[in-house]
Structure 1
Amino acid sequence: MKVSARNVFEGKVTNVQPGAVNAEVELTLGGGEKLVAVVTMASLHNLSINVGKDAVALVKAPWVVLLTDAGGYKLSARNALEGEVVRVGDGAVNAEVVLKLAGGTEVYAIVTREAVQELGLAPGVKATALIKASHIILGAKP
């Protein structure tokens, strides 16, 4: 599959919680990390999503928020993936930051250069990638 989303996470559906309009779908990645996506019930049926099915989660890099310290706050973003910065690619205004999770999965984020400096993002720094469940696009083979 060729897509413009920088993050393409392959995994297996491990839980589905249907609702009246939307469903929560839990995807377990190869490294054991879990992502929760919110999709419409129509999408759930159109993709034939059920527990045990292989699926992909697509997340555009600008939709990923990075933090280095939550300051004791609980956050509303459903997905919080902890890892270590392995690369920072600097641009004129923005930077691409690559976070490697414990299971080996890489998460790409596009943040401002100012954010890189303020958060002290550099290789070796521990950080968390926040991804809203509604920002995940699910894909599955028929």
Structure 2
Amino acid sequence: MPVEQLDALLSLRSDGRTLVGRDRIALLEAVIEHGSMTQAAKVAGFSYKAAWDAVQAINNLLPQPAFVTRAGGRRGRAAEVTEEGRKLISAFRRLEEKLLRISNAIAAEGLDNFDDLLLWGLSVKISARNAFRCKVVRIDLDPVDANVTLQVSEANNISAIITRGAAETLRLAPGRSAVALVKSSFVMLAPPGETAIAAGRNRLEGRVARRINGVANSEIELDIGDGKILIAVAPRVSSDDLAITEGDRLEAIFNASHVILATD
């Protein structure tokens, strides 16, 4: 009987969508080949919107953007995979090759020597649309709570209020990397400086990169710098009242208690 060939996958998901996985890596490779998001999406089997969501999610989780765009291009909007993106592709393909060897070894030898097998198929699902890799810059502790300040881009910091016990469990310290998660429905938008901010709230300024209208809600993508995109979902009537259009400067406002932190 031929040995069964196994396939091992490792993915990080948000709202049921893969942030980094085989299909997203194939999309980046298609961008390298074609230099156009429109063409890359078509070749990789993505809709144009799904392709944009995929590369923006990857950018938010990397220290530097994996993907950038330029004006123009004969075959649609010109696109480019950065050096950081190429490193991601290379690292992913090396890991995939190693996992393939492990899969073949399992198929040939059985599971007796693979007690940690479940770890190879670990998939983390989160409900927060915004997931940013940040650097911890400060921690203020009291007997119960910890106020953690994280740098998400050169121009913006995020404050998170978590329990002191959670901060200790996550081993948070200045200089350590962490992922900050914020649900898009928790984010309010306002013109810069027009809304008074209460204690314990975040205020991040950025430029509207895109607005997508649904029947009841609008999805606003806010470029907050360093290739990071913050997403807010607001009632369409509120977005219409603010007359939100691409290129507008807005502030994203959300409570520090609504930020969830994760570390490896």
- Note whether the superposition's TM-score is higher than 0.5: yes
- TM-score normalised according to structure 2 size: 0.51
Percentage of matched positions with identical amino acids: 32
Which protein shows a greater Rg? Answer: 2
User: Shift of residue 103 of structure 1?
Assistant: 3.1
Aligned counterpart for 1:79 among listed residues 188, 191, 202:
202
Q: Secondary structure at the match of 1:24?
A: strand
User: Residue 7 and residue 102 in structure 1: after superposition, are their counterparts in 2 closer, same or farther (change >3 A)?
Assistant: same
Instruction: Point out which structure has higher relative CO (alpha carbons under 8 A, 6+ apart).
Output: 1
Q: Is the 1:33–1:103 contact (alpha carbons within 8 Å) kept by the matching residues of 2? A: no
Q: Which amino acid aligns with 2:128?
A: A
Mapped pair 1:48 → 2:175: no
Residue of structure 2 equivalent to 1:14: 137
Aligned residues: 140
Bigger proportion of residues as strand: 1
Matches of 2:189 and 2:153 in 1, distance apart? 22
Quick check: which one's helix share is greater?
2
Distance in 1, matches of 2:239 and 2:140, equals 37
1:63 matched to 2:183 = no
Mapped contact 1:82–1:128 kept (Cα < 8 A): yes
Q: Distance in 2 between matches of 1:84 and 1:120?
A: 14
Structure 2: how far apart are the matches of 1:31 and 1:105? 10
Query: Is the CA contact (8 Å cut-off) linking 1:82 and 1:127 kept in structure 2?
Result: yes
Moved over 4 A (4+): none
SS of the residue corresponding to residue 44 of structure 1 reads helix
Alignment partners' CA distance in 2, 1:88 and 1:128: 15
Q: TM-score, normalised by structure 1?
A: 0.91
**Distance in 1 between residues matched to 2:205 and 2:154, nearest whole Å:** 12
Q: Can you list the C-alpha shifts for 1:20-56, whole angstroms capped at 9, x where unaligned?
A: 2110001112444211100001111111111111101
Structure 2 unpaired stretches of 5+: 1-11, 14-125
RMSD: 1.5
Unaligned runs of 5+ in 1: none
- In 1, Cα distance between the equivalents of 2:134 and 2:193? 27
